[in-house]
Amino acid sequence: MRKIEHDKTKDKEYDLACIKCDGETCHKVLFSVNVLESEDEISVSRDYEIIICQGCKEVSFRTTSSCSEDMSYDPETGETDYDEDIKLYPSRIAGRKQVKDMYLLPDEVLKIYKETHGALCGRLSILAGIGIRALVESVCREKEAQGGNLKNKIDDLVTKGVLTKDSAETLHSTRLLGNNSAHETIAATDDELDIAMDIVENLIKTVYVIPQKAKKLNKK
């Protein structure tokens, strides 16, 4: 049996990560469709919701699904709850916005950055780790860094005056994380990926965004 119900959760509010705002914000459901399917005493419920941030008014999409076979029991309260699978589109993480003024990045660097950011927000750990390494490689390539491997190329960025020695040492940690993802298919933890992304975002801001904004300031 299949039952479809419209606007069952309309006007309901959730605290969710926002695409544009920092952290979690209140989102309200504008429109929803609930689909309930049942067969042989097993039921599956799915909600499809168009939601709007009550802060910046950005519209996005939320889906939830639960099955009567997947439930958790609390022995203290005696209550049973269904385990929900919740997804947001576009995928995002609270506080993980894209770099401001990223239009100042070279095309190749920008493309890799967007895809890496998307993989990180989607918690595609191995792809995010590979993307972080590829992002560092793209900066080295764009700056024509010399060396037979990525380690030497990062060090050459110091020689060229693009990076400080301390910045290069910090950047080497992302290289090792990327090696594990690319060659050993070892997924980094969420915390490791967040820190590594912070490092490479600082890299592209230092190399591209800040210098170009400084030029504009000097012209004024």
Q: Which residue has the higher pLDDT, 182 or 27?
A: 27
Tens digits of residue pLDDT in 129-181: 889 889 999 999 999 999 888 889 999 999 988 888 888 888 887 776 766 66
Q: Which residue has the higher pLDDT, 113 or 71?
A: 113
Tens digits of residue pLDDT in 85-143: 888 888 777 667 788 888 899 999 999 999 998 888 888 888 888 898 899 999 999 99
Tens digits of residue pLDDT in 18-66: 888 877 899 999 999 999 998 887 888 899 999 999 999 999 999 999 8
Q: Which residue has the higher pLDDT, 78 or 203?
A: 203
Look at residue 95 in the predicted model and tell me its pLDDT. Answer: 65
**Tokens representing residue 97 in the block:** 């916005």
Look at residue 71 in the predicted model and tell me its pLDDT. Answer: 67
Q: In the chain, what are the domains?
A: 2-89 (no CATH), 102-219 (1.20.120.580)
The residues that bridge with 85 in the sheet, in sequence order, are 65
**Tokens representing residue 189 in the block:** 């933890």
Is there a contact between 56 and 26 (Cβ–Cβ < 8 Å)? no
Look at residue 40 in the predicted model and tell me its pLDDT. Answer: 80
Task: Give the alpha-carbon dihedral of 162, 128, 65, 17, to 10 degrees.
Answer: -20
Look at residue 94 in the predicted model and tell me its pLDDT. Answer: 66
Look at residue 167 in the predicted model and tell me its pLDDT. Answer: 84
Look at residue 102 in the predicted model and tell me its pLDDT. Answer: 86
Q: Is 28 exposed, middle or buried (0-12, 13-18, 19+ CB in 10 A)?
A: middle
CB-based contacts of 102-107 (< 8 A; 24+ apart in sequence): 102/204, 102/209, 104/208, 104/209, 104/212, 104/213, 105/204, 105/208, 105/209, 106/142, 106/208
Look at residue 179 in the predicted model and tell me its pLDDT. Answer: 66
Distance, first Cα to last Cα, the chain:
68
Look at residue 93 in the predicted model and tell me its pLDDT. Answer: 74
Look at residue 168 in the predicted model and tell me its pLDDT. Answer: 85
* Residue 138 three-state SS: helix
User: Count of CB atoms within 10 A of residue 74's CB?
Assistant: 9
Residue with token string 């049973």: 80
